[in-house]
Each structure stands twice: as C-alpha cells, then as structure tokens.
Amino acid sequence: MGEVNGRAGGEGLPSDQRLARYLADALETGDGGDLRARLQSGSGLRGPRPNLRLVREFAAAAGSVAGQPDPPVATLEALLDGWAAIGEDEAPGDQPAVILPCAAAAAYGEIAIVRPEWWADEMAKLRRAAPDPRWRVREAVATALQQVLDADWDRTAEALVEWAGGGEPPHARAAVTAVAEPRLLIDPSRHQAATQIQRRAVARLAATPAADRRAAPVRALRQALGFTISVVTAASGDFALLDQLVRARDPDLAWVARENLEKARLARWPDQVAALKARQKISSGGA
C-alpha cells in the first residue's frame, strides 16, 4: 500500500516497516487518520478471520516506539486509549473498525514487555478491555496476556490468579484462556499457578447463582473452562481438578468436566480418562 494522504509512503518497504511509518507520522502530527485507514483496509474483515499479522505488526511498532529512550508517551497513550474506547456501536464485531481496539490491546501487551516499569498500567488497561462484548477484542486481550506471561510469568500469573478469583466472569475467562497455552506450560514450575487460576475460575463459576448463569459473560467463562482445564492437565498430568469436577453435583461443572474429558490432548492418559468418565456416569445416575 502506498500513501493514504501523501505522508506515510514507503510503498517499497515491508509491511511492518510501512506500518511503523504510519504510526510515526500519526504520533508526530497528532492525526491518526492514515494509520487508522491502513489498519482498517488491511483488517481482513468482514471476512471470517481478522488479519492477526497486521495486529502483531502494529503492536511491535508501538512497542518499538515505547522502548525509545524518550518516547512520546502522551501521544502514544492518547492514540491507543482512544482506540481501546471505541465501543460496539461504532465498531461492531464483524466490521473493519474492530481491528482498532484489538490493536490497542495487543499494543498494551507489547508495551508491558518492553517497558516493565509500565507493566501495572498496561495490565490495568488489559483488565478494562477484558469484559468487551466483542469476542475478537476478548481474544486480543487473551493473546496479549500470553505475550506478557511469556516475558514475565511470575508477576503476570500472580495478577491472573486475582483476576480469576476476584474479578468478574470476563476477567476469569481472560485469565484461564491466557494460561491455557501449551508453549507457556513446558516449564513444570508454572503448572501450580496455571492450575490455581483454573481452580479459582471454577470456584467463581460455582459461586454464581443459577439465575445469573444465562448471562453472556458467565456462559463465556463456562465455555472457556470447557477446554482450558484439559490444556493445563495435559501439561501437568494432574487430574485432581477434573476429579473434583466429576464429583460435583453442579450441572455446569459436570458439563465442564465432560467437555474436557473428550479432548484428544488427554489421550495419553486413557486409564485416568476412562475412570473419570465412569465415575461421572455413576454420579449422574447413569447405568
């Protein structure tokens, strides 16, 4: 893509360098119109999938700016926070404009990595974005959290333990989804925190009154737990949480157990899976 209004240019440059030029121009002039147009035109929407590579390239460009010795903090923050504040009425989930809050979330994660002293502020912004009604934005938050976990597991996992147990259902969903990434769980020292996050989110779901469980945020948490627990179990080999769920009389917890026990990633433990399925069948009153 060449110039939008004659400033950014760089037609012969790789995509990430062109995007960096658009960002630099937006921060210099205070006018993000060309950058916004570039992201929306390349968003891949209304297609079935957004252009995640473009989102990553923007996040990297924002991180590069933030990592400068004297970054333009005020203008960068105003740009990202303005995009993060774009609501569903202006940018429905299937429209190109939704790439802007997604890009903001991705950038928050990248900035938390390159500027560890800003970590708390960026995590607070991701927390504010986690309850977004648009699933694309929620996934962008979870992906950003995974990047931050990769860079600083201990501090970020500790924060997500609180999200899982002390936040609202969307915060718990973001937390369990973020740690349910196999590459993050290769190190056995991470298994305890990842399991604790799953446990606290399960407790959050169990404590939700039955009358409130039809609400979309609670259903989204339930749906996430239907696969995240098996990811952590497959990494650790610890079936204690699934055993607890199998024994529960709560229908939603029983559903979570059934969903996880069907996942192919647990096929390495056929005896444990078969025993838990049999136990659940007995608990549910089956033959």
Cβ atoms of residues 43 and 100 within 8 Å: no
Q: Is 24 left (phi over 0), alpha (psi -120 to 50) or beta?
A: alpha
Residue type, position 67, single letter: G
Give the model's pLDDT for residue 6: 43
Spatial CB neighbours of 153, under 8 Å, sequence gap ≥ 6: 184, 187, 190, 193
* Helices within the chain (DSSP H only): 15-29, 33-41, 52-66, 73-84, 99-114, 119-129, 135-151, 153-166, 169-179, 191-206, 216-236, 240-247, 251-261, 270-283
pLDDT in tens, 164-213: 999 899 999 999 999 999 999 999 999 999 999 999 999 999 999 999 99
* Placement of tokens 């995590």 in the chain: 123
pTM over 0.85, yes/no: yes
Band the pLDDT of 265: cuts 50, 70, 90. very high
94 pLDDT more than 90: no
50 pLDDT more than 90: no
* Placement of tokens 């977004």 in the chain: 132
Q: Token pair of 173, please?
A: 């969903």
pLDDT in tens, 234-246: 999 999 999 999 9
8 pLDDT more than 60: no
